[in-house]
Structure 1
């Protein structure tokens, strides 16, 4: 589990940085990110068996604002931080609006929007919706980021990288599971919050009007979709944000909820991949 959300003050280091940046850039222009491919994981912290280097570049269009938030702007701000600070997940303000999106440092050592880590990957086709969760339980080993990445607190893997990397923590498991389910036609989202007071990421899947909470880090060998708990019955989970490939949601207030849809959620932004 990563520690970006407990205490929430850990976010405050980067939370106001976009505001600071705007003091020097009065009218930020939309500058599309470079078309050059990203470095592969084998050139950063680890290696994968994937030949594909997925594009993560893009911009975020924030609801209620005039200018998109570009990845170039993100990189300018994060570049001013120390290595340890840049390895923290950041929640961003933009043009007077709070918590419009999140970014995290990837295996290429760059910050990318949370949505971009869902790259449209499925290891193989299946008709059984329990198979992705079972595959994660069998194949991927849980390991804290600081133990895997020389003390750095949060390094995210894309869904493809998460499949080929043997080890990963909660957000790596959740990103792979959510993306795989999306490829199978399920409305799946990565949820960010806490579990029993500790920072955590998990998956919510919406199927036939029901919300299921899927614990991507579970290593139990469950083989039935029906065995997955309804989100309304899952105890100990406190969600703050959620995202899929395209959208980022934040709660309207700090009230606890077990519902992942409704008026208490605000769709903050849309990610557009370059």
Structure 2
């Protein structure tokens, strides 16, 4: 079951799912005490490479609106919510336009636009498209956010942080994988939706006009990109939104689809890093 909290604001509305990740999906949990000390302690453990402050600042230009959604407004709106509610991913409506973009809390304890977590990072150069997923399988452990961050339900890592931080959940894996593939020239996107009815994030990569679904949390060590499943054949995945460094897409309807391009998708907004 998924629960969405609808909060009315003066100039926008946001929807915040009360969800926490478990075994590749989300499960409903009651609000838990937020302990920022745990997050600070975790950051203190990071190496100097991990503590690099990536530029996540920017504005979102929403299709159909002449007024951009700014990071300042985002932070002001989040501050009006309880710590428990702001711990979750938020999908934003802006000036009457639904599903304009999404935001999530980062390691710095602030909400940032989803696109901003793809900071243009790649750990090393490679020509083989299977290497990023293989590297994730061998390097990064899967762990629930509320276990890693002292009860915080959902914390996103930038692609750089996701590489250096030993543990992370599905969004962290997907963000690193998509960003790395983009650096290799691939049209790669983070997909948000459900897997077998439970909230999840994964990657879709478009190569040679074919859509591949990459399960970023998979620990299978596949050394061939052709071994990756075509998105049209991947069962159990129901995508709702997708984003890359620049754009945020939403479906026109709630109808399930295995196609990540086409008229049933609307490019809702563009993130302009500043």
TM range (shorter): 0.7 to 0.9
RMSD of the TM alignment (CA)?
1.6
Structure 1 counterpart SS, 2:266: strand
The residue aligned with 2:21 is none
Contact 2:195 2:237 in 1 (8 A): yes
Structure 1 stretches of 4+ with a deviation exceeding 6 A read none
Is 1:17 equivalent to 2:15 in the alignment?
no
- In the alignment, structure 1 residue 209 sits paired with structure 2 residue 233: no
TM-score, normalisation: structure 2? 0.87
Give CA-to-partner distance per residue, 1:45-87, whole Å, 9 cap, x none: 4343315321101100000001000010010010111211111
After superposition, what is the alpha-carbon deviation per residue over 1:7-64, rounded to whole angstroms, capped at 9, x for unaligned?
A: 1x32x345x436468xxxxxxxxxxxxxxxxxxxx95743433153211011000000
The answer on whether the counterparts of 1:65 and 1:95 sit within 8 Å (CA) in structure 2 is yes
Change (3 A) 1:45 1:79: farther
Give the C-alpha shift of residue 181 in structure 1.
Answer: 0.3
2:81 maps to 81
Q: Within 5 A, what are the aligned runs for 1:149-228?
A: 149-228=149-228
1:127-156 deviation digits (Å, cap 9, x = unpaired): 111000000000000001111111111100
- d(CA) in 1 for partners of 2:152, 2:251: 28
- Aligned partners of 1:48, 1:174: CA distance in 2, in Å? 21
Q: Distance in 2 between matches of 1:94 and 1:20?
A: 5
Residue in structure 2 matched with residue 93 of structure 1 by the alignment: 93
Deviation digits for residues 149-171 of structure 1, max 9, x if unmatched? 11111100000000000000000
Aligned pairs, number? 247
TM-score, normalised on structure 1? 0.87
Secondary structure of the residue aligned to 1:133 is helix
- Mark the runs of 5 or more structure 1 residues left unpaired by the alignment: 1-5, 22-41
